[in-house]
Amino acid sequence: MSLLPSTYIEHIAGYEGQQVTLAGWVYNKTEKGKLIFIQLRDGTGTIQCVVFKKNVSEEAFKAAQSLGQESSCYIDGMVRADPRSPSGYEIDVRDVRPVSITQDYPITPKEHGIEFLMAHRHLWVRSSKQHALLRIRHEVIAAAQEYLNNNGFVRFDTPILTPVAAEGTTNLFATQYFDLGMAYLAQTGQLYVEAGMMSFGKVYCFGPTFRAEKSKTRRHLTEFWMIEPEVAFADQEDNMVLQEHFVSYIVKRVLERRAEDLRTLERDTTALEKIAPPFPRISYDEAIDLINKAAAQGVTVPPEQHPLPPLEWGEDFGAPHETYIASLFEKPVFIVNYPAAVKAFYMQPVADRPEVVHCADLIAPEGYGEIIGGSQRIHDVELLEQRLREHGLNIEDYQWYLDLRRYGSVPHSGFGMGIERCTAWIAGTRHIRETISFPRQLYRIYP
Ligand code: 4AD
Ligand code: MG
């Protein structure tokens, strides 16, 4: 005997006029005398189930009355088309069979504060907006992998416990690793995925990455998921062409397949419909000029409308600067050729201007910030050694990485896209903490 329902709500249209058995949870319930309206959710959708006293046994009616919010149950009934219901269908209930009756579910349809909701994240993930956000996250991940799999990339998994830093030494989570000294949680899979690139040509890694940075912004998590493609014989221009196709594919697929979730989130998709290659490119130098001109004119930046702070050449951009630059374009914009000093050690210097590197940050429209960081990597062993020294890193620790430049080195490029940043943008949610099931932040590790 199976415990499964006879169908799921997402397939209900195929069962019009037929008897079905649904299994799920009571999202909401209202009683009007001889009628009980149950909003049943089963993970694939929500449907109104109408319990009419004269159509069910006394026992079934009592069972329906006993179901508090989030009670679990089976509902047997007939599928009826109803143009007034959001799904287009409702269930004419014949029987109600409780599985677990709940009376005091903590998250009620009234408003709750964010602290309360975060402390109840394990339950909050059932709420319709959170459900929609996490569904979109799933689609972003599926689309990203599908694009790469269809374009000749091989998934090459990289370790999470690593002996050295890849993205600077200031934000490492450390743990004692048996008798072998300290190990660090990976900030990126990049260095290892470069080894895979030399075996397969086109690879990607995908997994959780960790940054012990003490930032409390809406855009930072201490644990986030990154997908990182790496391509042999590719320069930074090739890298950007790949990124604009990759990102456009993801947006398109989410628009096609998660329209209902985007509606649940009240996401205005007008701007997303325009996302297609090519994306604009501006240099770091141009960005600095634009920012300083705007700052001099007293331009303010949403959402807080604080004045845009001016910047000196050589400084890194903050969130307001990215938001301002993004506001000048309809599509994501590449900011290219940052000063070497603000970027990681492995980036290839520009030939006639070694103070800047072949890299780009891809800034999402509408103020959602950097979604991708990428670069062409140094492929010359001596230059790479020199850069490691300049960054105060121990050459001995990076011998295996230098080997990749000693044996069959080739120019190569790659990038990393943060799944949560990308999801926040597409779903139109300001705070990244809701785009991951259990966010890890400076002041949060429960639940
Ligand atoms: O720019 P980042 O630090 O680049 C790298 O780690 C490279 N090794 C990637 C590569 O070339 N293979 O991070 C890449 C992306 C950012 O653009 C952002 O989307 C996301 O990872 N990201 C974060 N997301 C959430 N919280 C944080 N603290 C993040 N830091 C980076
Ligand atoms: Mg970056």
From 242, 370, 431, 433, give the residue whose CB has the most ligand 1 atoms within 8 Å, as the site to mutate.
370
Residues 53, 197 within the same domain = no
**Residue whose CA lies nearest to ligand 1 atom number 9:** 416
Ligand 1 atom 21 nearest Cα: 418
Pocket flag, ligand 1, residue 369 (CB < 6 Å) = no
Same-domain pairing of 89 and 158: no
Q: For residue 119, report the distance from its CA to the centre of ligand 2, in Å.
A: 30
Closest ligand 1 atom, residue 222 Cα: 28
Domain assignment present for residue 316? The answer is: no
Mutate to test the pocket of ligand 1, among 137, 188, 336 (most ligand atoms within 8 A of CB): 188
Residue 118 C-alpha to ligand 1 middle, in angstroms? 24
Does 439 contact ligand 1 (Cβ within 6 A)? no
CA-closest residue to ligand 1 atom 22: 418
Q: Are residues 226 and 370 in the same domain?
A: yes
76 Cβ inside 6 Å of ligand 1: no
Pocket perturbation via mutation, ligand 1, pick of 187, 421, 425, 444 by most ligand atoms within 8 A of CB: 421
Of the three residues 100, 132, 161, the one that is the final residue of a domain is 100
Q: What is the pLDDT of residue 192?
A: 98
pLDDT of residue 262: 98
Q: Which residues make up the environment of ion ligand 2, defined by Cβ < 5 Å?
A: 373
Residues 209 and 132 placed together within one structural domain of the fold? yes
Whether 258 and 171 map to the same domain: the answer is yes
Q: Is 202 in the pocket of ligand 1 (CB under 6 A)?
A: no
Q: How far apart are CA 326 and CA 330, in angstroms?
A: 8
Query: Has residue 110 been placed in a domain?
Result: no
Query: Where among 69, 100, 131 does a domain terminate?
Result: 100
**Ligand 1 neighbourhood includes 337 CB (under 6 angstroms):** no
Is the residue at 82 inside a domain?
A: yes
CATH number at residue 73: 2.40.50.140
Clarify whether residues 143 and 88 are in a common domain.
no
Q: Is 295 within a domain?
A: no
Question: Atom 29 in ligand 1: which residue has the minimum CA distance?
Answer: 220
| Angle in degrees, 0-180, between the axes of helices 190-200 and 399-406, rounded to the nearest 10 | 30
**What secondary structure, in 3-state letters, does the chain show?**
CCCCCCCCHHHHHHHCCCEEEEEEEEEEEEEECCEEEEEEECCCCEEEEEEEHHHCCHHHHHHHHHCCCCCEEEEEEEEEECCCCCCCEEEEEEEEEEEECCCCCCCCCCCCCHHHHHHCHHHHCCCHHHHHHHHHHHHHHHHHHHHHHHCCCEECCCCCEECCCCCCCCCCCEEECCCCCEEEECCCCHHHHHHHHHHHCEEEEEEEEECCCCCCCCCCCCEEEEEEEEEECCCHHHHHHHHHHHHHHHHHHHHHHCHHHHHHCCCCCHHHHCCCCCCCEEEHHHHHHHHHHHHHCCCEECCCCEECCCCCCCCCCCHHHHHHHHHCCCCCEEEECCEHHHCCCCECEECCEEEEECEEEEEEHHHCEEEEEEEEECCCHHHHHHHHHHCCCCHHHHHHHHHHHHCCCCCEEEEEEEHHHHHHHHHCCCCHHHHCCCCCECCECCC
279-316: per-residue pLDDT in tens?
999 999 999 999 999 999 999 998 889 999 999 999 99
Name which residue sits closest to atom 31 of ligand 1, judged by CA. 418
CATH assignment of the domain containing 334: 3.30.930.10
The verdict on 140 and 241 lying in the same domain is yes
| pLDDT in the model for residue 84 | 87
Q: Check the CA dihedral 143-219-322-329 and report its sign.
A: positive
Atom 16, ligand 1: residue with shortest CA distance = 372
Same domain, 61 and 208: no
* Ligand 1, atom 17, residue with closest C-alpha: 372
d(CA 19, CA 15): 8
CA distance 75 to 40: 9
Residue 293: inside a domain, yes or no? no
Boundary-marking domain end, from 47, 68, 100: 100
Q: Which domain holds residue 33?
A: 9-100
Verify whether ligand 1 is closer than 6 Å to residue 373 (CB atom).
Answer: yes
On whether residue 177 sits in a domain, the answer given is yes
Quick one: 91 and 177 in the same domain?
A: no
Residues 83 and 155 both lie in one domain: no
Count of domains for the chain: 2
The position carrying tokens 């890849």 is 166
Closest C-alpha to ligand 1, atom 23? 418
95 in any annotated domain: yes
Q: Which residues in the chain show pLDDT less than 70?
A: none
What pLDDT score does 87 carry?
82
* Distance of alpha carbon 140 from the chain centroid: 7
Q: Report how far ligand 1's centroid is from the alpha carbon of 178 (Å).
A: 29
Q: Are residues 89 and 125 in the same domain?
A: no
The answer to whether position 183 is within a domain reads yes
Decide if 49 contacts 40 (C-beta within 8 A): yes
> Residue 41's pLDDT is what?
97
338 and 423, same domain (yes or no): yes
